[in-house]
Amino acid sequence: MMDEQAWQLDELREEARYRRERLELYRARMYGGRARSEHRLREYERASEGASARLRRAEARLSSSAD
C-alpha cells in the first residue's frame, strides 16, 4: 500500500469514527431530554452512514487491488 493510500484510509477511518461518535452523543442528548430536533438526528445519521460507506468502499478498493 502506498503512503498516500494509507493516509487517505486513515483519514476516512477518523472521519467515520468522528461521525459515529457525534451521532452517539446526540442520541444520548435526545434520551436525556436536552435535544429535540429529529431533523438534526437524521443529519447526524446520514453523515455517519455516508462516512462509513466511503470507508467501506476505500477498503474494498484496496483489498481488490492487493489481489
| pLDDT tens, position by position, 5-53 | 889 999 999 999 999 999 999 999 999 988 789 999 999 999 999 999 9
Length of the chain: 67
Q: Which residue range(s) make up the domain with 22?
A: 17-62
Q: pLDDT value at position 34?
A: 84
What's the pTM? Answer: 0.85
Classify burial at 27, counting beta carbons within 10 Å of its beta carbon; exposed 0-12, middle 13-18, buried 19 or more: middle
Q: pLDDT value at position 57?
A: 96
Calpha distance 34→26 (Å, rounded):
9
Q: Identify whether 39 is part of a domain.
A: yes
Q: pLDDT value at position 65?
A: 79
Q: Identify whether 57 is part of a domain.
A: yes
Structurally, how many domains does the chain consist of?
A: 1
Q: Identify whether 22 is part of a domain.
A: yes
Q: Identify whether 26 is part of a domain.
A: yes
